[in-house]
Every structure is written in structure tokens, then in C-alpha cells.
Amino acid sequence: MIEVGLKQIILALLLLSHELAVAKNAEFYITLEKNTFSPPRLHIPADKKVRIIITNLDNEPEEFDSFDLNREKVLFPGKKSVIYVGPLKPGIYEYFGEFHPNTAKGSIIVKLKESNNAD
Amino acid sequence: MFTPRYVFADGIVVDKVYHPYVIANEKEFEWRLMSSQTDTINRLAQQFGLGYSIAENVAMEFYIIGERNELGDFTASAFELEARWMLTEQGQYAFDWGAIFELERNTSVNSIEASAGLAVEKEFEKTSLTINWFLIYEQGSQIDSEFETEFRVKYRYRYIPEIQPAIELYSGEDYFGIGPAIMGVHRIEGQRQIKWEAGFITELSNKGKDHTLRLSVEYEF
């Protein structure tokens, strides 16, 4: 029983080290200022993993939350935060800021073809 | 001195499938209940926890664990300190990784249990597969000192935030159980939210009856 457990853990660590050595993803940018995300609609390509870099220009923290994207992350004031999403199917994925849900909200629009990344 | 014949420190595998994520600046109260029924016994344990994120990717939680003994008395029987460490950013790699470390002192059987585990999660569109491996060492004056391993799996469908049905599997200590589960989250305001989980796990490796009902409620703020 113990041998099986150790093998599983060693295998898991090998997988982890392999994963740490890979991946460079396309980058997209969102800014949070005056409790508002900009652009409010970000276009990203379907079926690709992307890095969304969110810069919080406000002087208070915000929490990015999206059930559609299955992501939840604190955005510290004056800092950049990275959220990895995808590969996603085409569609509209809503998100909001937990501390200012009425103003801090936006959507990620996933398209089959990469075009303008904001509107 | 009365010694419980069955204790949760050395006998029940069904607990909770941990996700590999930590949210910064988060505090939480947690309550868990586990009720296990076999042909001969009916075990009950409750766990109260207070947790806090001490870093962007590390959270600590302290638990008081109470168990009902064979006389029917329900008393605090153990204390546990738990650390969860988010090893990778969610979605960055093919799998998300986290580590869990637990140290439990059981005063009713005078034992100590130390655990180290890995939590791995993978998204498949609206579903998520979560796997936990634990290596556990138990030592005490009334139990056999031994290493054990536990394996837990949850496959969840993110239907809506409040209703996320799942299937859970637990394996370890000659136990193999599987059953339906459900979890959900209700946002209140800001970081305040309530999460709940419930599962009904049936043991399959023995002939006799062995069902475990598990419930948990977390208030995050």
C-alpha cells in the first residue's frame, strides 16, 4: 500500500516538473481603474489557452470572480495579476469584481477567429 | 479507562476532496459532519475550523474535532492544524497543483497523525476532475504506528454556482467507497460567501453495510 502511494507521489512530482518546463501563451490586457474594467469586452481566440494580465490602478484590492470561467483571484492595488483561461469554446463568459459588482464587470468574448481583442 | 473501539483517526477515509486553490485575503469558518453507519456501529464526528490565508498562495486552518464514543457522549477528541499551498496558478498548466499538510493530535486515543498530500485538478469545459493523494503517518499508545495512503477523487459538473453535482470516490485503509455528492456557493457581498458540500458514500469493498454521510458548510469573509 505504501509503495503504491510513493509511486503515485513520485509520478505526480515528475508530471509537475514536466509541466513547469512548458507553455508560452498569447497575452491580453485588462485595466481596472475607478472600479471599472477596461475594455469591458475582451475578445480572445477559441480553443487556445491565453494569459490575461489585469492591472489594478486603483488604490484598493478587487477580487476578479467568474463562475463562467471558473476563476477567482484577488487583484492587489497597483499590481498586475495574471489569469490563465482556456482553451474555451466560442461564447460569452461574464466576470465581475466582488467588491464593486455594479461597476466592475465585463465579459470575455471567445471567437473562432482571432480579430480585434477589444471593443 | 474507556477507549473508543472505532475512532476517526484510524478508520474512516471519507472526508473532503481538496481543491488545489487558495484565495488571498480570505478568512473562513468551517463546519463538517460525518456520520457513518455499518451493520454494527453508528459513528458521528463533527469538525469546526477557522482558516486564514497567510499569503497569496498559502492558507492555514485550525480545527477542533469532536466524536461520539460508544457511550453516546460527544466530546472534543482531536485538534488539527492544516496548511494548504497552491503550487501553480489556476489554468497555467495542463493540471493545477496544490499541497496539503495536516498535523492532528487526538487526545481520546493519545495519538498523533501527520499527513502530506497532493491535490490535482483538471477542467474539462463545465466539469472538473479533482484528485487527492495523501501519505499519512499515525503514532499513538493505543493504535498501531503505521504509514497509510489515501486516494480521493471528485468529478464535478459546474451547473450553476448553487448546484454543482459530483461523484466522489475514496480509497485507503482497506476501504473503497463511491457515491454522489453536491456542492454549491452563494455569494452574499464582497468576499462574503457560503459554500456547502454534501456526499453520501457507500463502501463497496466489504459485504456488510457501510454508508457515510458527509456535510460541510464554510462561511468565507
Domain ranges of chain B: 8-220
What residues have CB less than 8 Å from B70, skipping those under 6 apart? B2, B4, B5, B6, B41
Residues 6+ apart with CB under 8 A from B10: B109, B111, B138, B143, B144, B173
- From A71's Cα to the closest Cα of chain B, the distance in A is 8
A44 or B172, greater pLDDT: A44
Contact B130, B121 (CB under 8 A): yes
Grid cell of B1 as nine digits: 479507562
Return the closest-CA partner of residue B10 out of B51, B45, B48: B45
Pairwise CA distance, residues B36 & B217, whole Å: 18
Sign (positive or negative) of CA dihedral B162, B119, A83, B219: positive
Whether residue A83 lies inside any domain: the answer is yes
- Indicate yes or no: CB of A83 within 8 angstroms of CB of B91: yes
Residues B21-61: tens digit of each pLDDT: 999 999 999 999 999 888 888 889 999 999 999 999 999 99
Count of alpha carbons within 13 angstroms of residue B9, beta-carbon side: 33
Residue of chain A with shortest Cα separation from B149 = A5
CB nearest A2 (choices: B24, B92, B149)? B149
- Asked if the Cβ–Cβ distance from B95 to A19 is below 8 Å, we say yes
The Cα of B72 is separated from the nearest Cα of chain A by a number of Å equal to 34
Q: How many domains does chain A have?
A: 1
What's the gap in Å between the CA of B179 and the closest CA on chain A? 23
Nearest to B180 by CA among B209, B200, B155, B161: B200
- Tell me which residue in A6, A19, A67 faces B93 most closely, judged by beta carbons: A19
Nearest CA in chain A to B186: A67
pLDDT at res. B8: 47
**How far, CA to CA in Å, does B188 sit from each of A60, A93, B10, B185, B193?**
20, 21, 38, 10, 5
Q: For chain B, give percent helix, strand, coil, nearest 5.
A: 0, 70, 30
Give the CATH number of domain B8-220: 2.40.160.40
CA distance A115 to chain B (A): 23
Name which of A71, A74, A98 is nearest B90 (Cβ-Cβ).
A71
Q: Is residue A5 part of a domain?
A: no
Q: In chain A, which residue's Cα lies nearest the Cα of B123?
A: A70
**pLDDT at position B189:** 86
Q: Mean pLDDT for chain B?
A: 90
Residue A91's region, left for phi above 0, alpha for psi from -120 to 50, else beta, is left
* Confidence class for position B218, pLDDT limits 50, 70, 90: very high
Residue B97 has pLDDT above 80, yes or no: yes
Share of chain B above pLDDT 90, in %: 71
DSSP-derived secondary structure for B158-200: -SBTTBEEEEEEEEETTEEEEEEEEEEEEEEETTEEEEEEEEE
Q: Report whether B83 contacts B100 (CB < 8 A).
A: yes
A13 domain residue, yes or no? no
Given a cut of 50, whether residue B219 has pLDDT beyond it is yes
Residues of chain A contacting residue B125, judged by C-beta atoms under 8 Å apart: 89
Asked if the structure places residue A116 within a domain, the reply is: no
Smallest Cα–Cα separation from B108: which of B188, B194, B203, B1?
Answer: B1
* Ramachandran area for residue B220 (φ above 0: left; ψ -120 to 50: alpha; else beta): beta
pLDDT of residue B123: 94
Of A20, A22, A98, the CB nearest to B191: A98
Q: Considering only alpha carbons, which residue of chain B is nearest residue A18?
A: B93
The mean pLDDT of B167-176, rounded to a whole number, is: 91
Residue B3: pLDDT above 60? Answer: no
Per-residue pLDDT of chain A in tens (119 residues, 90 and over written 9): 445 566 666 666 666 655 554 557 899 999 999 999 999 999 999 999 999 999 999 999 999 999 999 999 999 999 999 999 989 999 999 999 999 999 999 999 999 875 555 55
Domain membership flag for residue A43: yes
A8 contacts A15 by C-beta, under 8 angstroms:
no
Q: Which of A14, A3, A106, A34 is nearest to A64 (CA)?
A: A106
Mutate to test the interface with A, among B92, B101, B144, B205 (most CBs of A within 10 A): B92
Write down the ipTM of this complex: 0.83
User: Is the residue at A118 inside a domain?
Assistant: no
Residues B90, A8: C-beta atoms closer than 8 Å: no
Per-residue model confidence as pLDDT tens digits over B130-152: 999 999 999 988 888 899 999 99
Q: How far is CA A56 from CA A60, A75, A77, A82, in A?
A: 8, 6, 5, 11
How many whole angstroms separate alpha carbon A107 and alpha carbon A94?
A: 4
Question: Please, are residues B178 and B200 in contact by the beta-carbon 8 Å criterion?
Answer: no
Among A9, A61, A89, the residue with its CB nearest the CB of B118 is A9
Beta strands in B2-73 (DSSP E): 27-38, 42-55, 58-68
Distance CA B195, CA B60 (A): 18
Instruction: State the pLDDT at residue B74.
Output: 83
A2/B147 CB distance under 8 A = yes
Give the cell for residue A76. 492587489
Q: Which domain holds residue A106?
A: 25-111
